[in-house]
Amino acid sequence: MPMKLYTSSVAPNPRRVAIFLAEKNIDVPIVEIDLAKSENLDADFVAKNPLGRVPILELDDGTYLAESMAICRYFEEIQPEPPLLGTDARDKAMVEMWNRRMEFEIMGNVTGCFRHSHPYWEGRIEQVADYGDLCRRNIEERMTWLDGELADRDYIAGDRFTVADMTAVSAFDLGKIAKIRIPETLVNLTQWYQRVSERPSVAATSPTRKRD
């Protein structure tokens, strides 16, 4: 069986995998799952991932691998160049730290705000409006922190584009739907966002890109 990626071209976590594959110039056959039609909850999809989440990678041996970062790690292991999860022990750990920080501080709050405040999720999940508000306030604080961190470097984990940038840009682009914007006063963060958004891998996977 050839490898196959079940994914959604509009959701932020699958986008991390799409950027990762583009940076590595790896081409994997795609099966598009329509989240708006809840195709991720269909019986045949749930048989592949009981948690009903995209993306999942079907390996050559028929194993289904879920979780965006697990899929990224698989590709990093089978094709290390260019390194997107770090180089030596220290750098791998620093990239992991920054990616985790982007997941918890940025993506987690953006997702929490989107899921608990946006009409898209009405009836799909149990929304807690006060939690959405809390996440919105958290993200404003975290953006200020991140802006300070970016004062001395071009990318989140250092001088190289890594998975930490993929996580953050995917989160900020999702945030637009929930009216979360990077304030222009945060100059370092604004410049980082522009720099990263211009990369071909990021531009080609933007949720607002022109479709063919």
Give me the residues that bind a copy of itself (CB under 8 A), please. 50-51, 59, 61, 63, 65-67, 69-71, 73-74, 77-78, 88-90, 92-94, 96-97, 100-101, 105, 126, 128, 130-131, 134, 145, 149
Instruction: Output 32 or 149, the one with its CB closest to a copy of itself.
Output: 149
Closest by CA to 207, choosing from 163, 180, 157, 170, is 170
Report the nearest approach of a copy of itself to the CB of residue 176 (Å). Answer: 24
**Distance of closest approach, residue 56 Cβ to a copy of itself, in angstroms:** 9
Give the number of other CB atoms < 10 A from CB of residue 204: 11
Angle, in degrees to the nearest 10, between helices 187-197 and 129-149: 90
Question: Least distance from C-beta 66 to a copy of itself, angstroms?
Answer: 5
Question: DSSP label at 122?
Answer: B
Whichever of 87 and 197 has its CB closer to a copy of itself, that residue is: 87
Which one, 152 or 198, has the nearer CB to a copy of itself?
A: 152
Please say which residue, 77 or 212, places its beta carbon nearer to a copy of itself: 77
Nearer to a copy of itself, 90 or 211 (CB): 90
H/E element, 31: strand 30-32
Minimum distance of a copy of itself from residue 115's CB (angstroms): 11
Q: How far is CA 35 from CA 70, 109, 153, in A?
A: 21, 21, 37
The minimum distance between CB 201 and a copy of itself, in angstroms, equals: 21
